[in-house]
Amino acid sequence: MPGLFPAAACLRPFMGACMAILLYTLPITSAQAALALNNTRLVFHSDKRNTTVVVRNPSTQTYAVQTWINTSADDNTTAVPFLPAPQLFKLLPGKEQLVQINGLPRTLPDDRESLFFLNVQEIPEASDAPGNTLNIAMRTRIKMFYRPQQLKDSSTSQLKSLKFSLIEKNGKPYLRVDNPSPFHVTFIRLNVHGPGQQHKLRNTAMVAPFAAQNYPVDGITRTAGLRAEFSVINDYGGYTTPLTSPIHLPN
């Protein structure tokens, strides 16, 4: 792809420097990824050798595409036991590419899910337009859950085991969510309501397996009858039917 994509040869960890060059040489685009994936999240089952995702180019522009797997640290140094293929390819307008994520030898917990991220970097082709122009190479990043074979249930099978409580930290109220299950929980909807009060939480952090998260709920006071109404994202990117659970008021 030499000549078409000036940044295509700039693989990690040099992408940052290549991006700086792109910012001064290519035409301006909107801050929205041009490429699309057929999944919003992936599940890699431990008894499988690989999983796949389709990268589509619905735009009228040709792109070079770079793919890689990393952790929540989003760095280039932490070793990960997965390798996507191909890692670099050209994607013409209206075309798609199957990316296969292969498992490498690994030592990961077998009693819970492990979290990784698939990164898809789109690199626009060089422009023939005269003068200084600008283009931003966009990256799409989705969650990939490594699920041990021992976990027979689905990620939404143990939602009723979630425990909700109202706690206080530094004089402010927080909704604490304890997750005793081996699955990650991502809320798409989480509301607190009770007699005369209500609070809708937005952009809530994911709750890891066997862990807890505290969410600020300003304005909520300790009152009997508080309940949490919630819905989570399932393995396919859809939403579960809303559930309700009592909110405990620890002493």
User: Are 141 and 191 in a shared domain?
Assistant: no
Q: Domain boundary residue among 119, 147, 175?
A: 147
Q: Note the residue count of the chain.
A: 251
User: Are 134 and 32 in a shared domain?
Assistant: yes
Inform me whether the pLDDT recorded for 25 exceeds 80: no
pLDDT category of residue 28 using cuts at 50, 70 and 90 = very low
Q: Is 118 inside a domain boundary?
A: yes
User: Are 244 and 197 in a shared domain?
Assistant: yes
Strands 63-70 and 114-124: antiparallel
* Host domain of residue 218: 159-248
Q: Is 71 inside a domain boundary?
A: yes
CA 133 to CA 3: how far, in whole Å? 17
SS3 content of the chain, % helix, strand, coil (to 5): 5, 45, 50
Q: Domain boundary residue among 80, 115, 147?
A: 147
CA 80 to CA 192: how far, in whole Å? 38
Structure tokens at 59: 């735009």
User: Are 50 and 163 in a shared domain?
Assistant: no
- Structural domains in the chain (count): 2
CATH number for 163: 2.60.40.10
Q: Tokens 């295509």 belong to which residue?
A: 8
User: Are 95 and 20 in a shared domain?
Assistant: yes
What letter does residue 112 receive in the DSSP assignment? S
User: Are 72 and 102 in a shared domain?
Assistant: yes
Q: Tokens 């706690």 belong to which residue?
A: 167
* pLDDT tens digits for range 47-98: 999 999 999 999 999 999 999 999 999 999 999 999 999 999 999 999 999 9
Residue 8 identity: A
Are 67 and 150 in contact, with CB atoms under 8 Å apart? no
* pLDDT tens digits for range 157-204: 999 999 999 999 999 999 999 999 999 999 999 999 999 999 999 999
User: Are 113 and 207 in a shared domain?
Assistant: no
List the one residue out of 24, 4, 181 whose CA is nearest residue 91: 4
What letter does residue 129 receive in the DSSP assignment? -
CA 72 to CA 209: how far, in whole Å? 15
User: Are 227 and 105 in a shared domain?
Assistant: no
CA 11 to CA 13: how far, in whole Å? 6
User: Are 72 and 120 in a shared domain?
Assistant: yes
Q: Could you tell me how far CA 188 lies from the centroid of its own chain?
A: 13
User: Are 143 and 20 in a shared domain?
Assistant: yes
CA 233 to CA 92: how far, in whole Å? 32
User: Are 132 and 164 in a shared domain?
Assistant: no
User: Are 121 and 19 in a shared domain?
Assistant: yes
Inform me whether the pLDDT recorded for 14 exceeds 90: no
Q: Domain boundary residue among 91, 125, 147?
A: 147
CA 153 to CA 161: how far, in whole Å? 13
Q: Is 10 inside a domain boundary?
A: no
